[in-house]
Amino acid sequence: MRRIHFFFVAWLLGMQLYAQTYDELITRAMDAIEKDSLYQAEGYLKKALQLEPANMRNALLFSNLGTVQRRMGRKKEALESYSLALNLTPYSITMLLNRASLYLELDYLDKAYVDYCNVIDLDAKNTDALQFRAYIYMRRRQYQEAKNDYQSLLEVLPDDKTARIGIAMVNQKMQRFREALEEFNRLIVDYPKDASLLKARAELEIDLNTLDMALLDLENAVRLTPNDAELYVMCGEIYLEQGRKREAYVAFEKAIELGVPRPELQEQLKASKGK
């Protein structure tokens, strides 16, 4: 979901010899990127930056350098490169989004939030910024603010699935259960084979204590994704709540078979064996 971008620049002809060398380094860097030769690309970009440190186009080079370093897993260096690019062009939406998404990867929520706010100040309808700022608000439990961003996103993309799920989850967190259930119902009508939606509605139905409905959704989700261990754990918990211990035990054992460590379910297994 997080997008990162390279800038490909069309360079002007007829420049002086030193500038042609600068352009040649950029061309080689772009060729190396296309071939996924990232170490070579990094070297060419750094040489170009050293050759003309005052070139006004260096913001693009720093941004590309950051994305190369990011793809190599050197995320702290990538952040430095993105920041140097933004020092030169502080109002670049694409560069702000690149850095914000990397902040988010590193779980630097406050810094990502600032970048996404800056993007929205520049472009109030930017869908990436609205989506991920809403996510940050959800992490912060600022549910009304998250809802506002999801609603703004839906004004731009009325059928956006992520925003619709976000609205449903926000309503659930705010204990507006009827509104949340109505949105999940609509989503499942639109995406009947999405097991994650069935699971989400089941979690809401558990909150509403409509356990039979939750179990029905979970069983349908299992048919769609039979290797999802969490579904079996959730089924087992409901079976236990309903006193169906044998079925609970089978569900927990299936979850263990699918990868859940047995010690994590020790208490549930014990309860499902009891009288």
Per residue in 210-227, pLDDT (tens digit) is: 999 999 999 999 999 999
pLDDT of res. 15: 43
Domain 1-106 has CATH 3.30.365.10: no
How far the first Cα of the chain sits from its last, in Å, is 48
pTM: 0.84
pLDDT of res. 20: 54
Is the per-residue pLDDT at 5 higher than 90?
no
pLDDT tens by residue, 15-67: 443 445 888 888 888 888 888 888 888 888 898 888 888 888 899 999 989 99
Dihedral sign (CA 116, 120, 121, 122): positive
Given a contact cutoff of 8 angstroms between Cβ atoms, the answer to whether 48 and 64 are in contact is: no
pLDDT tens by residue, 112-133: 999 999 999 999 999 999 999 9
Over residues 229-245, mean pLDDT: 96
pLDDT tens by residue, 164-213: 999 999 999 999 999 999 999 999 999 999 999 999 999 999 999 999 99
Supply the CATH classification number for the domain 210-275: 1.25.40.10
In the chain, ranges of CATH 1.25.40.10 domains: 1-106, 210-275
pLDDT tens by residue, 131-173: 999 999 999 999 999 999 999 999 999 999 999 999 999 999 9
Three-state SS sequence of the chain = CCCCCCCCCCCCCCCCHHHHHHHHHHHHHHHHHHCCCHHHHHHHHHHHHHHCCCCCCHHHHHHHHHHHHHHCCCHHHHHHHHHHHHHHCCCCHHHHHHHHHHHHHCCCHHHHHHHHHHHHHHCCCCHHHHHHHHHHHHHHCCHHHHHHHHHHHHHHCCCCHHHHHHHHHHHHHCCCHHHHHHHHHHHHHHCCCCHHHHHHHHHHHHHCCCHHHHHHHHHHHHHHCCCCHHHHHHHHHHHHHCCCHHHHHHHHHHHHHCCCCHHHHHHHHHHHHCC
Residues constituting the chain: 275
pLDDT of res. 113: 98
pLDDT tens by residue, 258-268: 999 999 999 99
